[in-house]
Structure 1
Amino acid sequence: MPRFGILTSGGDCPGLNAVIRSAHIRVDREYGGTLVGFRNGWRGVLDDDAVEITEEITHGIAGMGGTILGTSRTNPAEGTGALGRVRRTLEDNALDGLIAVGGEGSLSAAHALRGAGVKVVGVPKTIDNDLNGTDYSFGFDTAVQIATDAMDRLLTTGASHARCMIAEVMGRNSGWIALHAGIATGAHAVLIPEHPVSVDQIVEWVESARNRGQAPLVVVAEGFPLEGDGIFHPRGTEASGRPRLGGIGERLAPLLEKRTGIETRATTLGHIQRGGTPTAYDRVLGARFGAAAVDAAVAGEWGKMVALSGERIVTADLSEAIGSIKRISAERYDRAAVCFG
């Protein structure tokens, strides 16, 4: 009977609990095996902090946000003796392999461990939808819906006061959340890292909306490089050394107000995009990924990750998900930009 470990690593994401529940059901009911959860991501693997996943633990969790196992940004491929600790944990728990649920950083660690002989299958997770190798990752749909709901509210309060409203969304170096939520709300400008535009262009879009009697809505991704300033990250860096993004909306607001004469307010949506109840789509996709990951592990498809291709769940090499992010094409952005202003 198979016995697998599972962990959730990196930033939390709506749909993680659906993955855990589905993986448990698959390994238990289909294969008569056991699923062991590691607390706090890869840190739990290094510290052998484990709990057996049971029916009681997973009851009713599919619609819960966050992750019942907890998470961290620990990298198991770094540090003296880390690889030995991972191997020892797998041996001590009699595991046939690991299912690692994470984003680009977590899956990079999984790929490195596989190169060192550790048996691991990946599950792609990120609200940013920036992972290559899969059409969509769970968590993205929820983040877009949360952002869309917030922007709908900003539109009404902006119209009441004839203000320009700026909504800053997450996404790091990709603009998927910004573009999808911006299109959904009919935003007058969407600013994304992949295709920077000048302040003059933003002003033109804002004034065009104002001249038609509308209160402008500007959507900006947190990694948008403002002309002359580059990527704005006044909060310094994270422990990993990456810039701690956030604040571009507040930086942009006074510039637009000065140039256009329109009272301008910025709202940073921040971590509310990652919390709370996952949408039905993300619950279903997470469940499909969880079951497919167990199937891949049983089949010995180590070094693979489950992925969405059209409507099918397939497997792809972990190497496809790492090293670069999935970017929005110029054609896709240009088609959306026709509606700006």
Structure 2
Amino acid sequence: MRIGVLTGGSDCPGLNAVIRAVVRKGVQDHGDTFTGFRDGWRGVLTDDAMELGIPEVRGTLPRGGTVLGSSRTDPLARPDGPARVRATLEARRLDGLVVIGGIHTLTAAATLADEHGIPCVGVPKTIDNDISGTDYTVGFDTAVGVATETIDRLHTTAESHKRVLVVEVMGRTSGWIAIHAGLAGGANGVLIPERPFDLDRVCGWVASRFGASYAPIVVVADNARPAGEPVRLGGLSGIGEWLGREIEHRTGHESRATVLGHIQRGGTPSPFDRWLATRFGLHAVDAVHDGAWGQMVALHGQDVVRVRLADAVATVKTVDPARYAENEVFFG
């Protein structure tokens, strides 16, 4: 078969591992040929591509980013988008596309497959872990590792200077990075978008921690917000900077904020992400050869299964109260 591959949306660790597995299995087991589209859907719309073979993916397993490049281009944002996608596939005589992306990239793939008959198989990647239908997404574990290591290092600074340290992590509308890294790193408070927080309660955690002669660390997801009051972040400051200022003003304890930002998305993937990305890539090739168009590979327990793409992107996977309650035991 002749298969196209693209990586869309934000970069994350593990993308190259997916591409590598797709190409290796396709070439070795089936004699497939591969075309890699540059910069996500933009490459498909403009027919900007490169040939992908085993030499092109050799040595890419531990590399961060994506050898194909990425973008947030949406093929559905223009009236002729689906027609241009189809024209590119037909011109290159491609049998289908392996689409590696987050919610927005995979939403486009689902629509193209279901409404326009364009053959797509999805692979879920995003550090936010917010795609329904899969336990984990490629890139999430690495981001949690980066955030956890940061919290570990900041504990010593917090204790040395008797400061409150606020750690702002990514997550968009889901708090998965925050609750995983917060629990793993021994944070004394975790604030997530799913649960608007009470600032007085947060300050109570801080006071309780200092009362026990320890300096607290509070982890906050970048879209977490206090309940019942607007937040004027101002300038380039995010919720972490705002929270640090508010805690210092209300408690009198010196506070500092650390914003991890894009560092969570960069660098080499963790062993788990390499394992997950590789398995997803292998199973994506199987899905292509089975003609499972409009499907996404997903992790359920230890098994890689297929779920309908449209179902996987229909809702954002958010943190449920029971998972958050596990963290609350350690607050304050």
| 1:9-32 Cα deviation digits (max 9, x unpaired) | 000010000000000011100111
Which amino acid letter does the alignment assign opposite residue 6 of structure 1?
Answer: V
From 244, 250, 256, the counterpart of 1:253: 244
SS at match of 2:5: strand
Number of the residue aligned with 1:58: 57
SS at match of 1:166: strand
Give the percent of matched residue pairs that are identical in Structure 1 and Structure 2.
51
Which whole-Å CA distance do the structure 1 matches of 2:319 and 2:272 have between them?
A: 22
1:171 pairs with 2:177:
no
Deviating 4+ runs (over 6 angstroms): none
| 1:149-206 Cα deviation digits (max 9, x unpaired) | 1111111111110000000000011100011101011100000111222001101111
Number of the residue aligned with 1:241: none
With over 3 angstroms needed to count, the CA separation of the structure-2 counterparts of 1:336 and 1:271, relative to structure 1, is same
| 1:76-96 Cα deviation digits (max 9, x unpaired) | 112131111101100111100
Which whole-Å CA distance do the structure 1 matches of 2:235 and 2:55 have between them?
A: 42
Structure 1 unaligned segments of length 5 or more: list them.
237-245
Which amino acid letter does the alignment assign opposite residue 103 of structure 2?
Answer: E
Q: Normalising by the residue count of structure 1, what TM-score does the alignment of the two structures yield?
A: 0.95
Contact 1:126 1:140 in 2 (8 A): yes
Number of the residue aligned with 1:48: 47
SS at match of 1:36: strand
How many residue pairs match? The answer is: 331
With over 3 angstroms needed to count, the CA separation of the structure-2 counterparts of 1:308 and 1:233, relative to structure 1, is farther
1:228: Cα distance to partner?
Answer: 3.9
Which whole-Å CA distance do the structure 2 matches of 1:57 and 1:231 have between them?
A: 48
With over 3 angstroms needed to count, the CA separation of the structure-2 counterparts of 1:23 and 1:232, relative to structure 1, is farther
Number of the residue aligned with 2:216: 216
Which whole-Å CA distance do the structure 1 matches of 2:134 and 2:54 have between them?
A: 30
Number of the residue aligned with 1:332: 323
Number of the residue aligned with 1:277: 268
Number of the residue aligned with 1:9: 8
Which whole-Å CA distance do the structure 2 matches of 1:219 and 1:14 have between them?
A: 22
Counterparts in 2 of 1:12-51, with a 5 A limit? 12-51=11-50
SS at match of 1:302: coil
Counterparts in 2 of 1:162-201, with a 5 A limit? 162-201=162-201
Number of the residue aligned with 1:76: 75
Contact 1:151 1:167 in 2 (8 A): yes
Contact 2:131 2:316 in 1 (8 A): yes
1:235: Cα distance to partner?
Answer: 6.6
1:324: Cα distance to partner?
Answer: 1.7
1:150 pairs with 2:141:
no
Number of the residue aligned with 1:227: 227
SS at match of 1:226: coil
Contact 1:164 1:262 in 2 (8 A): yes
Contact 1:223 1:232 in 2 (8 A): no
Which whole-Å CA distance do the structure 2 matches of 1:174 and 1:327 have between them?
A: 5
| 1:224-275 Cα deviation digits (max 9, x unpaired) | 0123445776579xxxxxxxxx710101111101111110000100000000
Which whole-Å CA distance do the structure 2 matches of 1:163 and 1:60 have between them?
A: 44
Which whole-Å CA distance do the structure 2 matches of 1:298 and 1:192 have between them?
A: 41
1:57: Cα distance to partner?
Answer: 1.1
Contact 1:306 1:314 in 2 (8 A): yes
Which whole-Å CA distance do the structure 2 matches of 1:204 and 1:230 have between them?
A: 21
With over 3 angstroms needed to count, the CA separation of the structure-2 counterparts of 1:233 and 1:92, relative to structure 1, is farther
Which whole-Å CA distance do the structure 2 matches of 1:274 and 1:148 have between them?
A: 14
| 1:20-62 Cα deviation digits (max 9, x unpaired) | 0000011100111111100000000000011111122111001
Contact 1:119 1:302 in 2 (8 A): yes
Which whole-Å CA distance do the structure 1 matches of 2:100 and 2:78 have between them?
A: 21
* Structural RMSD (CA): 1.3
Which whole-Å CA distance do the structure 1 matches of 2:8 and 2:231 have between them?
A: 26
Contact 1:164 1:217 in 2 (8 A): yes
SS at match of 2:61: coil
Which whole-Å CA distance do the structure 2 matches of 1:78 and 1:283 have between them?
A: 33
Contact 2:111 2:310 in 1 (8 A): no
SS at match of 2:266: coil
Number of the residue aligned with 1:93: 92
Contact 1:232 1:247 in 2 (8 A): no
Which amino acid letter does the alignment assign opposite residue 306 of structure 1?
Answer: V
1:339: Cα distance to partner?
Answer: 1.2
